[in-house]
């Protein structure tokens, strides 16, 4: 007997040809058909009188053909005028056959369905769906709304409808094939239909739902499926978290003398927030299970030193530490900082990126293997190559939003020794609204550094039009006269490195011409690492006054004397990204400014968004507002590898569901633990056991 996990070819009339087409839609097994939901619906449930039609309506009508003619004027077309006693309407065909012309002869009755438009001669329908009928009284209306499915080349609606119908019949005659894993008490609580009812409703909506509600996704049936899908994504991470709680990890008790020496060597005192987060981490290190902690901190709040402190605890216990950064620039900066901070102690810090080759690479790998390298700093190359650690105790991932969820989960296996796993510390300056964090970070404990080091003056942000470019350039002159430094950030919609680099190069040349007294440097992603480093060094040591850069400086760059930033075309970037960029200034005690120089005209939304940035410095507030204005895809970053793909849910439409998901997830662990794995499998496929990747 058929079950829903059989390939679609088990259905009548589905051969390998159709199966291949279905595969293009991500449909492999019969169950996939049930979850292939209509993208819209056609309403053929009532027949309209022609006299009642208005332009823009999509309607089903009946009529008698008055005449049919081929027009040769303009584009050759077949015109067929029909009337129903209340008015007339022209059917228009640009592609037609002789037999069609013959069928649509005067006196026959037809029904038509299409959008109604105003044409030269009155109302018209272009290329309508039509069928011959016996009389004006023939029943033509459908009992329910007609689903319209997303298609792929070589597959039409009627084939897809027939195939889906078979799957629907199968699951309504044998409901046990599609278990509803959500307990009915929970369903009732949220007024959700059961699974099969929900699926039937969406494929064959009855009169209980209006076409408008369906189109807006505002029906319990759809909400229920979106809810289940979001819940499944949340559960996967929760399961990963429970698994890691069951693993063991080394205990790092810390060495008070060492810590004291380290803290005394710093040119500042840790802020209260930094100390609080360090306390969280130290506690995690005592438990004997792997720490899985996310540190979210304001830009410039001093996350790096917190990471170094954590590293020191691992090092004191004789373990190795890996520090991963998303860009070479940032990795290089961390390498320098960690080397300097740990130079007091007998700690060997090494550096590894994809650019390191040959014997130099071999040497690094060897040192890791024989435990003579204690800290390794690098890009994702750290984990891409056959890097073997002798005793990895802690993995630190900086600016994690640049890496994907999946990458993060996969990394957990690195450095595994028997049942022992390394601790993981994940850091980000991109605040994720609390609701979204449930989908992205529910496998992690979260600490927040919500305090900036003392003495920082808030950044004044101004929004001005590029027409005032000259004034801005004059201001740079002034700034440089006062021995201060400036960033100029070039943005492009096209994210290709080559184009970005070119735009920055041209801008740097122009600014150098306009500002003869100013020492101008250039930084972009296409430069060689050694050149990038040389430019960064020169800027840091104030041999350059103005650094023209692409968004490569978004993360990590730290030059306290640079206190003015000009961002060109800020309207092209997400608010969180702009907030990150802006965080490059305001790191010293100088007054700091960020000039958002837009290109007029600015859309209303863009104006609103830049206004939010001007008025707020709280990354969380900014992220929440951006979420409302642009939707979660943008907030989480479209460039992010880990952006989650959904089958049914649409975070913009379904954001209201996120609030209940954590709650229901917790309920499920108590009331129906057996349901969790099947739910994850249903929505994320059977290979969702990331913790074992
Ligand atoms: P982020 O959180 O953005 O990664 P960083 O770790 O780069 O911030 O720190 C930003 C700057 O603040 C660095 O120059 C760092 O040395 C400095 N800093 C960190 N903690 C403190 C502190 N408690 N007091 C003063 N300056 C600090
Ligand atoms: Mg940082």
Spacing, Cα 638 to ligand 1 middle (Å) = 28
CA-closest residue to ligand 1 atom 1? 300
- Ion ligand 2 residue ranges (Cβ < 5 Å): 556
Give the pLDDT of residue 92. Answer: 94
For residue 640, give the 3-state DSSP assignment: coil
* pLDDT band, very low/low/confident/very high, at 83 (cuts 50, 70, 90): very high
Ordered alpha helix ranges (H), 288-399: 303-316, 328-341, 358-369, 381-384
Q: What is the pLDDT of residues 121-132, one digit of tens each?
A: 899 999 999 999
- Under 8 Å between Cβ of 373 and 350: yes
Averaged pLDDT, 395-411: 74
Give the pLDDT of residue 354. Answer: 81
Any atom of ligand 1 within 6 Å of the Cβ of 305:
yes
Q: Please check the confidence at residue 652 and state whether its pLDDT lies above 50.
A: yes
Q: Please check the confidence at residue 693 and state whether its pLDDT lies above 80.
A: no
Q: What is the pLDDT of residues 8-28, one digit of tens each?
A: 999 998 999 999 999 999 899
- Under 8 Å between Cβ of 67 and 52: no
- Under 8 Å between Cβ of 562 and 592: no
Which numbered atom of ligand 1 lies nearest the CA of 271? 23
Q: Please check the confidence at residue 632 and state whether its pLDDT lies above 60.
A: no
Share of the chain above pLDDT 70, in %: 93
Any atom of ligand 1 within 6 Å of the Cβ of 273:
no
The domain defined by 459-616 carries CATH number 3.10.20.30: no
CA-closest residue to ligand 1 atom 14? 558
Give the pLDDT of residue 244. Answer: 84
Degrees, nearest 5: CA angle 79-119-136: 55
CATH 2.40.50.140: which residues of the chain? 50-141
Spacing, Cα 656 to ligand 2 middle (Å) = 32
272 burial (CB, 10 Å; 0-12 / 13-18 / 19+) is exposed
CA distance 484 to 474: 14
Q: Quickly tell me which residue has 């969406």 as its tokens.
A: 202
Spacing, Cα 62 to ligand 1 middle (Å) = 74
For residue 539, give the 3-state DSSP assignment: helix
Q: Please check the confidence at residue 494 and state whether its pLDDT lies above 80.
A: no
Spacing, Cα 302 to ligand 1 middle (Å) = 3
Which numbered atom of ligand 1 lies nearest the CA of 583? 3
Q: What is the pLDDT of residues 266-303, one digit of tens each?
A: 999 999 999 999 999 999 999 999 999 999 988 888 99
- Domain spanning 256-449 has what CATH number? 3.40.50.300
CATH 3.40.50.300: which residues of the chain? 256-449, 459-616
Crossing angle of helices 658-671/676-684, nearest 10°? 140
Q: What is the pLDDT of residues 252-270, one digit of tens each?
A: 998 999 999 999 999 999 9
Any atom of ligand 1 within 6 Å of the Cβ of 586:
no
* Closest-approaching ligand to the CA atom of 306: 1
Q: What is the pLDDT of residues 500-519, one digit of tens each?
A: 778 899 999 999 999 999 99
Averaged pLDDT, 610-628: 84
Give the pLDDT of residue 687. Answer: 44
- The CATH architecture of the domain made up of 50-141 is Beta Barrel (2.40)
Q: Quickly tell me which residue has 């530490």 as its tokens.
A: 321
């Amino acid at each position: 007997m058929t079950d829903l996990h059989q390939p679609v070819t088990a259905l009548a009339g589905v051969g390998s040809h159709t199966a291949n087409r279905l595969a293009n839609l991500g449909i492999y097994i019969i169950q996939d058909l049930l979850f292939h939901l209509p993208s819209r619906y056609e309403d053929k449930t009532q027949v309209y009188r022609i006299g009642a039609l208005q332009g823009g309506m999509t309607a089903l009508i009946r009529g008698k053909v008055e005449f049919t003619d081929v027009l040769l004027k303009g584009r050759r077309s077949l015109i067929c005028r029909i009337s129903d006693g209340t008015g007339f309407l022209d059917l228009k065909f640009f592609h037609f056959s002789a037999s069609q012309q013959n069928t649509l002869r005067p006196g026959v009755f037809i029904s038509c369905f299409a959008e109604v438009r105003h044409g030269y001669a009155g109302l018209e329908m272009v290329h309508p769906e039509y069928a011959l009928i016996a009389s004006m009284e023939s029943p033509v209306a459908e009992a329910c709304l007609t689903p319209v499915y997303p298609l792929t080349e070589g597959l039409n609606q009627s084939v897809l409808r027939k195939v889906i119908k078979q799957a629907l019949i199968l699951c309504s005659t044998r409901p046990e094939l599609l278990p509803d894993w959500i307990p009915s008490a929970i369903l009732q609580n949220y007024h959700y239909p059961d699974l099969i009812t929900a699926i039937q409703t969406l494929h064959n909506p009855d009169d209980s739902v209006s076409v408008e509600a369906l189109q807006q996704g505002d029906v319990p049936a759809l909400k229920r499926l979106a809810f289940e899908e979001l819940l499944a994504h949340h559960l996967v991470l929760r399961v990963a978290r429970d698994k890691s709680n069951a693993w063991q990890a080394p205990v790092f008790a810390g060495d008070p003398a060492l810590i004291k020496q380290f803290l005394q060597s710093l040119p500042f005192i840790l802020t209260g927030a930094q100390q609080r987060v360090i306390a969280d981490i130290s506690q995690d290190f005592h438990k004997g299970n792997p720490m899985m902690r996310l540190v979210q901190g304001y830009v410039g709040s001093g996350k790096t030193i917190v990471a170094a402190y954590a590293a020191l605890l691992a090092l004191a216990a004789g373990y190795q530490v890996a520090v991963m950064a998303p860009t070479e620039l940032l990795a290089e900066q961390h390498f320098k900082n960690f080397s300097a901070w740990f130079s007091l102690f007998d700690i060997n810090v090494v550096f590894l990126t994809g650019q390191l080759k040959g014997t130099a690479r071999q040497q690094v790998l060897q040192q890791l293997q024989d435990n003579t390298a204690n800290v390794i700093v690098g890009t994702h190359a750290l984990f891409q190559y056959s890097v073997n650690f002798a005793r990895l105790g802690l993995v630190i991932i900086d600016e994690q939003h640049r890496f994907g969820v999946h990458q993060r989960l996969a990394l957990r296996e690195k450095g595994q020794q028997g049942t022992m796993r390394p601790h993981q510390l994940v850091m980000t300056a991109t605040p994720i609204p609390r609701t979204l964090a449930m989908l992205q970070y529910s496998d992690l404990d979260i600490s927040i550094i919500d305090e900036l080091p003392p003495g920082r003056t808030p950044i004044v942000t101004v929004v001005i039009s590029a027409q005032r470019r000259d004034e801005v350039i004059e201001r740079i002159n002034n700034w440089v006269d006062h021995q201060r430094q400036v960033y100029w950030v070039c943005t492009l919609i096209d994210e290709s490195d080559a184009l970005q680099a070119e735009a920055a190069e041209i801008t740097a040349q122009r600014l150098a011409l306009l500002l003869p007294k100013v020492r101008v440097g250039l930084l972009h992603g296409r430069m060689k690492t050694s050149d990038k480093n040389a430019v960064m060094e020169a800027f840091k040591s104030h041999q350059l006054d103005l650094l023209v850069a692409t968004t490569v400086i978004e993360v990590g760059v730290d030059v306290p004397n640079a206190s003015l930033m000009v961002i060109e075309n800020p309207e092209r970037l997400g608010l969180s990204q702009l907030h990150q960029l802006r965080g490059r200034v305001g790191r010293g005690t100088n007054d700091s400014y960020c000039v958002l120089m837009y290109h007029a005209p600015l859309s209303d939304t863009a104006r609103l968004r830049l206004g939010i940035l001007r008025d707020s410095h709280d990354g969380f507030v900014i992220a929440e507002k951006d979420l409302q204005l642009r939707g979660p895809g943008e907030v989480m970053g479209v460039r992010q590898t880990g952006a989650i793909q959904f089958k049914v849910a649409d975070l913009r439409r379904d954001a209201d569901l996120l609030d209940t998901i954590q709650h229901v997830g917790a309920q499920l662990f108590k009331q129906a633990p057996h349901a969790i794995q099947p739910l994850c499998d249903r929505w994320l496929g059977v290979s969702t056991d990331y913790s074992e990747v």
